Amino acid sequence: MRGLLSLCSLALFLTSCNSFICKNAINKSVGRQDIIEDFFDTLNVRKFKTGIHYGSNEITGIIIYKKLNDSIYAGSFINEFGIRGFDFKLSGNRVGMENMIKNIDKWYIRKKLENDLHFLFSRPEMISPCSIDKTPVYVSTVNRSLHYVYYTDGKMWTGKADMYKHSDKVAEMNQYADKSSRLVIKMRHINCKLTYDLSEITP
């Protein structure tokens, strides 16, 4: 009986987590193409000047991100001298890290990078409309606890997105163009001093 109660509590807890913070959620997902632009349009490779900052520490270099085929994307981070930091492969909701430089090859760094690189570079196939604080948004559910929220101007994604774990906002991202770059991506974690600054290097 106690076991059953525990299971019920757990189920209720998970359901409450799963409800996220989305209001008026419509259980119908739509294709994202008309709302969020594809990462790769004419080019199949993009290069970004990259800074990853954690408190007063930072690593800088270049991320090369390439579309290998319709479902697999791969990237590489190298520093200015050409020394490889890590490689990654993105396919659907999964990111795999490879060839990580020895001094950052720790399971918790790997996990964090996998999550963050997915948020930075993925484009969800399906998104669901809902509203947060009366603002209409589109939500992509990566897994039971992880959600991306994309803000729109009513039609298109504005470039602003948030990452939610359960019902907590854990990171925010802004993508925009400026004078020096076709695409600038800034991502900031809410509860730790980890930030990413990317700006596309014009070919």
Partner 1 sequence: MRILIFNILIVLFLFSKVTAQNAAFKPIADADMPACMEKIRNASASLTSLQCSFTQNKNIAVLSESVISKGILLYKKGNKLCWEYASPYYYLFALNGDKVYIKNDNSTRQFDTKSNALFKEISLLLMNSISGSELIDKKKFDVAFFESSTRVQVKLTPKNKTMKSVLNTIILYFEKSTYMVSTIEMIEPAGDTTTIVFNEIKINPPISNERFVVTL
Using an 8 Å Cβ cutoff, are 203 and 189 in contact?
Answer: no
Identify whether the C-beta of residue 64 lies closer than 8 Å to the C-beta of residue 73: no
- Given the complex with partner 1, which of 74 and 109 has the nearer CB atom? 74
Binding status of residue 82 toward partner 1 by CB under 8 A: yes
Residues 136, 143 contacting (CB under 8 angstroms): no
Shorter beta-carbon distance to partner 1: residue 74 or 170? 74
Within its chain, how far is the Cα of 53 from the centroid? Answer: 17
Half-sphere exposure of 196 (CA within 13 A, CB side): 25
Least Å distance, CB 76 to partner 1, is 5
- Token pair for residue 56? 């007063």
Q: Does 24 bind partner 1 (CB under 8 A)?
A: no
- Longest Cα–Cα distance of the chain, Å, equals 66
Asked whether position 64 contacts partner 1 by CB under 8 A, the answer is yes
Q: Which of these segments, 32-40, 77-85, 151-159, 169-177, binds partner 1 (CB under 8 A)?
A: 77-85
Provide, rounded to whole angstroms, the least separation between the CB of residue 202 and partner 1: 8
Segment interacting with partner 1, rule: CB under 8 A, options 30-38, 97-105, 110-118, 182-190? 97-105
Site size for partner 1 (CB under 8 A):
21
Cα–Cα nearest to 149, from 1, 22, 46: 22
Q: Which stretch binds partner 1 (CB under 8 A): 25-33, 56-64, 121-129, 147-155?
A: 56-64
Tell me the C-alpha distance between 133 and 22, whole Å. 9
Residues near partner 1 (CB under 8 A) are 45, 47, 49, 51, 60, 62, 64, 66, 74-76, 78, 80-82, 84, 87, 99, 102-103, 201
